[in-house]
Structure 1
Amino acid sequence: MNIHAPRRGYALFAWALAFVAVLHAVPARARDALPKWPLIGPLQTRNLSPFSLLRMDFMPPPAAAGQRPGWDLDARLTHANSFVKSENVKNYLRARGQPRTLTAQDVQALLATPGDVLYFDGEITALDLTARYVHDRHWTGYVNLPLLFYGGGILDDAIDGFHQAFGFTSAERDLVADNEYQAVIRHSGDTLVLLDAPSGVQVGDPVLGVRFASEFANEAFAIIEGAVKLPVGDADNYVSSGAVDYGLQLTLQKQLGRHGLYLSVAHQWLGEAKRFPNAFRSQASEASVAYEFGFTRHTATVLQTSWSKTAFKTGSGPFATDELLASLGVRHWRGNVAYDFSITRNYGNYENTQDIAATLGVSWLLPGNPVNPPIN
């Protein structure tokens, strides 16, 4: 049982109450006296943690206040480093005492240990291609296609150096070889073993979605979104769950001059995962909170945090803890093009999420749909 889950639930409920209070704290007419700032909204960062990678992952929608009818094409490159393991894997690595890759003999020994087994060491690069069509001030449709590349990594040395420089523990990174991609997972009788990274670029599961936005107060929007993930990727290479997922997301947004506040809560219904039919839940939930500040009419920064319910029905350690991520990003836009860069870090729970990720994004709003329309 996860004793921290109720506490996080109360905290999330408190966030929601505080957010609604802010929405109504400023009189509707007061916003008319403030200058207009073309904020873009929350960061569109993909969660590349080992378990969230397989299921549908809602990303918070862009700021509805700045949406104009037309097409928006988005390319977003994310590179994430993950090194997660269960307690029995830690004990095995300490007893082995050699900084080398896992062999077939190591895998046999790990799978012979009692309890669930988790070992995931590697880096994943995702290129998310998204096309959005804003029909009018209410309706938006979109399709997202991820292209994934799996590798041993280029960040291991940098992370090791960071840990040493600031006196942090090595987190058992010194007991395995650097720059390798390997995964050994066993839960509820389901097992996955990958001693090498899948070769080449892998096509992930596309997501199709529709959003409906309504302005219920001045510069305050409620957005309801429905989406479905289609199984296209290779389930055997840990690219796809091999199942159809679908879900709903509710978002509240409020802009106060150069300040933007965003809250999203989502719930997914998950199909039976091909490689983990007994381990994964049939439903999952996630939420995110973001704050955007416009330094100028062309530059803004975003601070964002997200929570995801664990994907597993039962278990302890990394299988039972929820995923917590925090992101800090900066964006700049001119005319019809917007750029952003962000860093994402795990916190609270470190044994089931990506250690660090970097995202570089570019958005093209086709002619007729400028990011920062002229002020009347």
Structure 2
Amino acid sequence: MMRAPVFACTALICATAHAQVGPEPAVLRARDLTPFGLQRLDMRPADMSDRPIGRWTAELQAAYQNTFVMSDDVHDYLQDRDQGRLPLRPEDARALLMAPHDSYYVDVEVGVLDFILQRRFTQRFAAFVEVPYIHYGHSRLDRLIEDFHDAAGLSQMGRDLVARDRFQILYHFGDTRLQMLDREVTGGLGDPIVGVRYMSSLAGRWQFALEGAAKLPVAGERLLLSTGEIDVGLQAAMRRRFGRATLQASAIAVHYSGGLESAADELIPTLIVAGSYAWTPAASIIAQGHVSRSVVRGTSIDELSDNKYQVSLGLQSSVRRWTWTFAITENIGNYNNTPDVGFQLGLAYSGQ
């Protein structure tokens, strides 16, 4: 659905390799809101902006997503149930969890507000801390998404088999089971993240950043808010300007210590590539791709353990010390382990 904007942005980057240099390069500093593994450490693209030395930068990143996914056997069960648009009932959950094979059903909306504070101590070294607030809501975007699917001639993927505006999670992976037929958690603070960043300029117009971070479970394990485990991660990022266009790539590896979906330790690699084009002296358009390994392992359901593919299209604008971003994220390639649609709004303030 988002391929055309991505191709258009890539063409702009190539066509403007020798154009006039524009404003500060842009990147979407959004996090992955996939429900599976939401509580793990998720390293956003490194901030390689030219922040003032010795000053604090405050940043707010708000994101909201709607996810509706189910395994094939759950879809077949709901079709055979043939009782109209009813939510999953306790008898439905018992029947599905008693099946000898893996299955899942996730119908949720999640909003996350991240407060980020960072300080650039020298030209090359910076440190940051992030504090997230996670909100779980009933699926208020369901009607809008269904109307869009109808208008575009797309399949509802089982949405028309159940009630709208619900919060329900049901899955069975090996020995792992979870049943939540209504919200048991409305929200709360997630685990804080602390990190350090090293930046340097390489030959030509290339810039390099190396970043390390850790997620700290300061309040212990909490349902849907914290895994109660420490996660650590490392990111290497490269950025190059091509006149008004900029290309930035981040390779990330996170050691995930386990959670509801996976009890075993594992390494989660992620690749994020962003292209931006300064179409005015103060505003840029951004196209960004995200590829990551799923945290769900040890399941017989391939579409759940397959890699996650997401693309975003957004805008960034700066006015004096303020910078804001807005973006829409869509899943591609594999639709059953990522949100259907997500929205991101960011605001940053740099001291002088």
User: Which residue number in structure 1 is paired with residue 326 of structure 2?
Assistant: 341
**The residue matched to 2:280 in structure 1 has which SS?**
coil
User: Which residue number in structure 1 is paired with residue 199 of structure 2?
Assistant: 213
2:32 to 36, 41, 47: 47
Is 2:232 the partner of 1:246? yes
Going from structure 1 to structure 2, the CA distance change for 1:78 and 1:179 (only over 3 Å counts) comes to same
User: Which residue number in structure 2 is paired with residue 257 of structure 1?
Assistant: 243
**Letter in structure 2 aligned against 1:262:** Q
| Alpha-carbon distance in structure 2 between the residues aligned to 1:334 and 1:147 | 27
TM-score when scaled to structure 2?
0.90
1:40-72 alpha-carbon deviations (Å, 9 max, x no partner):
4310111111113121111101234x2331211
User: Which residue number in structure 2 is paired with residue 304 of structure 1?
Assistant: 288
Going from structure 1 to structure 2, the CA distance change for 1:355 and 1:241 (only over 3 Å counts) comes to same
| Alpha-carbon distance in structure 1 between the residues aligned to 2:266 and 2:320 | 44
Per-residue deviation, 1:232: 4.5
What stretches of structure 2 of length at least 5 have no aligned partner? 1-13
Going from structure 1 to structure 2, the CA distance change for 1:199 and 1:301 (only over 3 Å counts) comes to same
Maintained 8 Å contact 2:52/2:350:
no
Going from structure 1 to structure 2, the CA distance change for 1:211 and 1:242 (only over 3 Å counts) comes to same
1:277-322 alpha-carbon deviations (Å, 9 max, x no partner):
54x5521111110001001121111100000102123222332211
Is 2:53 the partner of 1:71? no
1:135-191 alpha-carbon deviations (Å, 9 max, x no partner):
122111111111011011221001000111111111000011101011012212011
Maintained 8 Å contact 1:150/1:198:
no
Aligned pairs, how many?
A: 335
Deviates more, 1:90-99 or 1:171-180: 90-99
Going from structure 1 to structure 2, the CA distance change for 1:277 and 1:160 (only over 3 Å counts) comes to closer
**The residue matched to 2:295 in structure 1 has which SS?**
coil
**The residue matched to 1:90 in structure 2 has which SS?**
helix
**Letter in structure 2 aligned against 1:93:** L
User: Which residue number in structure 2 is paired with residue 135 of structure 1?
Assistant: 121
Per-residue deviation, 1:199: 4.3
| Alpha-carbon distance in structure 2 between the residues aligned to 1:67 and 1:339 | 15
Going from structure 1 to structure 2, the CA distance change for 1:37 and 1:68 (only over 3 Å counts) comes to farther
User: Which residue number in structure 1 is paired with residue 344 of structure 2?
Assistant: 359
Per-residue deviation, 1:112: 1.1
User: Which residue number in structure 1 is paired with residue 314 of structure 2?
Assistant: 329
Going from structure 1 to structure 2, the CA distance change for 1:242 and 1:188 (only over 3 Å counts) comes to farther
1:347-373 alpha-carbon deviations (Å, 9 max, x no partner):
00000100000111111111x1xxxxx
1:80 to 57, 65, 74: 65
What's the % identity of the aligned pairs? 29
Per-residue deviation, 1:246: 0.3
**Letter in structure 1 aligned against 2:150:** Q
1:212-267 alpha-carbon deviations (Å, 9 max, x no partner):
01101233111111110112477553222221110111101111221110000111
User: Which residue number in structure 1 is paired with residue 272 of structure 2?
Assistant: 288
RMSD of equivalent CA atoms: 2.0
| Alpha-carbon distance in structure 2 between the residues aligned to 1:276 and 1:163 | 29
Going from structure 1 to structure 2, the CA distance change for 1:319 and 1:351 (only over 3 Å counts) comes to same
Going from structure 1 to structure 2, the CA distance change for 1:327 and 1:82 (only over 3 Å counts) comes to same
Per-residue deviation, 1:269: 1.0
| Alpha-carbon distance in structure 2 between the residues aligned to 1:234 and 1:100 | 36
**Letter in structure 2 aligned against 1:161:** D
User: 1:1-376 alignment to 2 at 5 Å?
Assistant: 35-64=20-49, 66-69=50-53, 70-97=55-82, 98-232=84-218, 235=221, 237-273=223-259, 275-276=260-261, 278=263, 281-315=265-299, 316-366=301-351, 368=352
What stretches of structure 1 of length at least 5 have no aligned partner? 1-21, 369-376
Per-residue deviation, 1:342: 0.4
Return the structure number with greater helix share.
1
**The residue matched to 2:182 in structure 1 has which SS?**
coil
Per-residue deviation, 1:95: 1.4
Per-residue deviation, 1:326: 0.3
**The residue matched to 1:237 in structure 2 has which SS?**
coil
**Letter in structure 2 aligned against 1:184:** L
| Alpha-carbon distance in structure 2 between the residues aligned to 1:212 and 1:40 | 18
| Alpha-carbon distance in structure 2 between the residues aligned to 1:272 and 1:362 | 31
